[in-house]
């Protein structure tokens, strides 16, 4: 059984591979193939991957490293997709251009997310076509490629029959910190209900061993004025620095994101918000504590990226490797466990991005929504949710229509529709600002975006 990883040069690849190898028997995996168009980067990451498979875990799993799509996908059962079109140079552009115009600069939210989506739509469609051509007939593409909401909308529109499941690890990262805050050790006994779009949703209930923990959780957040474990708060200075931390979602500018959970709950206390809602509900405040000269792209380049590649260079010189140089955790576990559920028909519960089809009764039928589902060999069996309150529904419709207009504009090459998408986005204060940002982004994305007329 073959698992291909598209975007094999990602800093997340070692952690994903480790999660696969630790589940070798459940997955029945014989070979892992890394595929990337950036040979130099992938060859370096492959050094750590080979060490994990051969030296750390003695897995017996064959490793193939290739820049040839046919070699990568032929007879693959699973393709884990994690492409980043334009790498971190373009992420930096996505974040800094909106900030220059006084708007939120973030890689998946606001104008930055729209720009990133425009770069990713057609490469993702190409990936689907390649996998369809070469992989096994019953293949599954499990997609982490961001911005997942826009990517899933485009895939559903252009390749509606593709065997693809779009996922995101942010809700799981939130649950990890909820468990740590409430000192829950066996987080697998946590079950939650959730509705939204990707990076735009709410936890309506969180249970531990059948008992709701929403009230204790809200009390904890109110007491500490943040959703971070008490152990993290003992050294607040380290949280707001860009140095290493045990959790990649809890350092540097992430501090304000977790602080924002408390601030949102003070005004809208019914549901626990996905942290990304801060960028929409507190866009002014997030612009104020952002640094246009040093955004999260810079934080990542100077921490996770630098640490991994410095660690690889050190290993090549000394033969010694520090496992701390690569991230391993829920990100890799989530996608590997999803593959297990599909392969073994376990009906395990996951949060996935799917076509609505009535799962959220007062949202459009064709909306790509993020909801819980049971996963078996035939894909997701969605767990329907109650009708969404007007406030959340209004926010979701604005975001959904912004994303739909972007996808339509990208496919049609329509400047007007893309401008409408930017104008409609809640992070943008006016049509004039939307146009200024879009025009700057067209210039920055030459060679990546389709021509807009």
Element (H, E) at 438: helix 431-444
- How many DSSP H helices and E strands does the chain contain? 20, 13
Which of the four pLDDT bands, split at 50, 70 and 90, describes residue 1? very high
Decide if 406 contacts 452 (C-beta within 8 A).
Answer: no
Backbone dihedral angles phi then psi of residue 34, each to the nearest 5 degrees: -95, 130
Catalytic annotation, pick one of 144, 276, 279, 280: 276
Hunting for tokens 């090549």 — which residue is that? 316
Contact criterion met (CB below 8 Å) for 415 and 439: no
pLDDT in tens, 69-101: 999 999 999 999 999 999 999 999 999 999 999
DSSP, residue by residue, 378-405? TEEEE---PPPPHHHHHHHHHHHHHHHH
Residue 280: its H or E element = helix 278-281
Q: Measuring CA to CA, which residue among 160, 86, 94 is closest to residue 128? A: 160
> What is the arithmetic mean of pLDDT over 387-416?
98
Tens-place pLDDT, residues 225-262: 999 999 888 765 555 544 444 455 565 688 999 999 99
Q: For the purposes of burial, counting CB atoms within 10 Å of the CB of 318, is it exposed (0-12), middle (13-18) or buried (19 or more)? A: exposed
> Beta strand pairing status for 140-143 and 78-81?
parallel
Q: Is 74 exposed, middle or buried (0-12, 13-18, 19+ CB in 10 A)?
A: middle
pLDDT on residue 328: 85
Span 191-230, pLDDT tens digits: 999 999 999 999 999 999 999 999 999 999 999 999 999 9
Out of 73, 139, 144, 169, the active site residue is 169
φ/ψ (deg, to 5) at 206: -130, 125
Write out pLDDT tens, residues 413-430.
Answer: 999 999 999 999 999 999
% of the chain residues with pLDDT over 70: 96
Three-state SS at 136: coil
Element holding 64 (H helix, E strand): strand 62-66
Which pLDDT band holds residue 180 (cuts at 50, 70, 90)? Answer: very high
Residues 6+ apart with CB under 8 A from 81: 6, 7, 124, 127, 141, 142, 143, 144, 145
Give Cα 74 distance to the centre of its chain.
Answer: 26
| Residue 169 among the catalytic residues | yes
Total Cβ atoms within 10 A of residue 274: 23
User: Other C-beta atoms within 10 Å of 334: how many?
Assistant: 21
Q: Identify whether 22 is preceded by a cis peptide bond (ω within 30 of 0).
A: no
Q: What pLDDT is stored for residue 60 in this prediction? A: 98
Query: How many residues are present in the chain?
Result: 453
Does residue 146 contact residue 347 with C-beta atoms inside 8 Å? Answer: no
Tell me the Ramachandran region of residue 29: left when phi exceeds 0, alpha when psi lies from -120 to 50, beta otherwise: beta
* Site of tokens 């690889």: 312
Q: The pTM is what?
A: 0.95
- Give the bridge partners for 32, in sequence order: 3, 63
Q: Is 368 helix (H, G, I), strand (E, B) or coil?
A: strand
Give dist(CA 224, CA 418) in Å, integer. 41
Please give the average per-residue pLDDT across 117-138, as a whole number.
Answer: 98
Annotated active-site residue 276? The verdict is: yes
Give CA separation, 15 vs 25, 246, 254, 326, in Å: 18, 14, 21, 7
């Amino acid at each position: 059984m073959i698992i291909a990883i598209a975007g094999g040069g990602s800093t997340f690849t070692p952690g994903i591979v480790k999660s696969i190898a630790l589940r070798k028997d459940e997955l029945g995996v014989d070979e892992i193939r890394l595929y990337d168009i950036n040979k130099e980067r992938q060859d370096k990451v492959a050094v750590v991957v080979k060490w994990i498979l051969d030296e750390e875990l003695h897995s017996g799993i064959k490793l193939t490293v290739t820049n040839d799509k046919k070699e990568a996908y032929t007879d693959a059962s699973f393709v884990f997709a994690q492409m980043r079109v334009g790498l971190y140079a373009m992420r930096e552009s996505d974040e800094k251009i909106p900030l220059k115009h006084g708007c939120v600069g973030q890689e998946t939210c606001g104008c930055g997310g729209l720009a990133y989506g425009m770069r990713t739509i057609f490469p993702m469609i190409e990936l689907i076509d390649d996998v369809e051509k070469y992989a096994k007939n019953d293949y599954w593409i499990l997609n982490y490629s961001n911005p997942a909401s826009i990517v899933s909308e485009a895939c559903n529109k252009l390749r509606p029959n593709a065997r693809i499941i779009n996922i995101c690890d942010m809700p799981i990262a939130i649950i990890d910190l909820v468990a740590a805050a409430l000192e829950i050790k066996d987080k697998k006994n946590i079950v939650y209900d959730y509705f939204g779009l990707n990076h735009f949703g709410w936890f309506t209930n969180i249970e531990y061993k059948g008992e709701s923990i929403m009230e204790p959780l809200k009390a904890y957040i109110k007491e500490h004025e943040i959703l971070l474990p008490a152990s993290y708060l003992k050294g607040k200075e380290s949280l707001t620095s860009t140095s290493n931390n045990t959790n990649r979602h809890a350092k540097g500018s992430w501090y304000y994101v977790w602080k924002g959970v408390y601030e949102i709950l003070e005004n809208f206390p019914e549901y626990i918000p996905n942290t990304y809602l801060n960028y929409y509900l507190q866009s002014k405040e997030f612009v104020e504590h952002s640094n246009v000269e040093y955004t999260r792209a810079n934080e990542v380049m100077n921490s996770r990226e630098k640490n991994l590649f410095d660690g690889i260079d050190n290993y090549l010189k000394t033969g010694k490797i520090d496992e701390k140089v690569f991230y391993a955790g829920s990100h890799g576990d989530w996608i590997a466990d999803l593959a297990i559920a599909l392969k073994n028909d376990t009906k395990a519960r996951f949060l996935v991005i799917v076509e609505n089809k009535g799962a959220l009764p007062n949202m459009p039928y064709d909306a790509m929504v993020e909801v819980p589902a049971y996963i078996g060999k035939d894909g997701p069996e969605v767990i329907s949710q109650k009708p969404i309150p007007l406030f959340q529904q209004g926010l979701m419709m604005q975001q959904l229509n912004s994303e739909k207009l972007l996808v339509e504009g990208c496919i049609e090459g329509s400047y007007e529709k893309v401008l409408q998408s930017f104008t409609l986005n809640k992070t943008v204060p006016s049509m004039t600002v939307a146009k200024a940002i879009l025009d700057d982004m067209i210039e920055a994305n030459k060679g990546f975006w389709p021509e807009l007329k």
